[in-house]
Amino acid sequence: MHGRVEVDKPGADPGGSPKRFLVAVLTKNDELQIEGCLESARGLDADLLVVDSGPTDSTVDIARRLGAEVVHYDYITEARSRNWVLENWGRRYEWVVFLDSDERLSPELRDEIASLPRPDAGPKEYYMCRHMFFLGKRLRFGGHQEVWVLHVLHAPACKVVELTRTLEYVRVDGDTAKLHHPLIHDNKKGLSDWTRKHDFYAVREAEDRLRGVALEQPVTEGRLRALFTKRSSPGSLLSCWPQRSSCTATSSALDSWTARWGSCITSCTTCGTRFSSLRTSTS
């Protein structure tokens, strides 16, 4: 296990019946937005878990004041942090709702999540539609204005698979479905932090590509860019996973992709197959 763990108080009783909801938030120096994130879950009757990776501000104090359990886990990648939560807390709950510190549940989405059926009576995981805000204004164009994220999870039926240090997807054993109301993504830290964060991700992704990081297996769930690993290497092979066939295509053969409502439609020019990165249909 990676990371140093400090548990402030015990979570749900692992020996009892699973509780309904855990809201889990990964943080580091998020004092400007952690309160809005946690407050948006009020009314969900959820336990709150803040997984912090070394703050130098008041994030932890604010989270404790709002009743959250706070643990420390050294951040390496999103996939490892989320899997750590699923493995150590997930089975104590029917549903784990992952939020970023700059995300908020809309009241309508919170109520929709509260009314979810038990996992054995319906889908095992749910997508939320993230509405993106930038510098206080909602993005309405450009392909990222609405992004579907698979962040309402039933721990026994899923695992987050790490492709690179910046790309991951959720492997699901069962059906998925979409929730109807928006998840609000609105970073309050300003433009300098936005630039710093994206520089950090860009450097990591470039380093991974230079090392030739390849797909572990065909991708059926998760981030859209996960389909395009090793794009800088023309000879790299990608499997035409919809057919599970012997068809292989170079990265240059994946000729076009369109992101709208979280659906990524791609043509394999080797065999002509068209496919989507999401199992569920778009509306």
Residues 24, 158 within the same domain: yes
Structural domain contains residue 54: yes
Tokens 């204004």 sit on residue: 137
Residues 42, 162 within the same domain: yes
CA distance 267 to 256: 7
Query: Does 18 score more than 80 pLDDT?
Result: no
Structural domain contains residue 244: yes
CA 105 to chain centre: 14
Residues 64, 106 within the same domain: yes
Query: In this structure, what CATH number is given to the domain that contains residue 98?
Result: 3.90.550.10
pLDDT digits (tens, 9 = 90+) for 146-177: 899 999 999 999 999 988 888 888 999 999 99
Structural domain contains residue 197: no
As a whole number, mean pLDDT of residues 177-190 equals 94
pLDDT digits (tens, 9 = 90+) for 38-70: 999 998 989 999 999 987 899 999 999 999 999
Q: Do the strands 125-134 and 176-186 form a parallel or antiparallel pair, or are they unpaired?
A: parallel
Domain of 266 in residue numbering reads as: 218-283
Q: Which DSSP string corresponds to 212-226?
A: T---SS---SS-GGG
Q: How many domains does the chain have?
A: 2
Position 183 confidence tier, pLDDT thresholds 50, 70, 90? very high
Residues 233, 168 within the same domain: no
Of residues 229, 101, 86, 243, the one with CA closest to residue 152: 86
Query: Does 247 score more than 80 pLDDT?
Result: no
CA distance 10 to 71: 10
Structural domain contains residue 11: no
Residues 27, 88 within the same domain: yes
Structural domain contains residue 264: yes
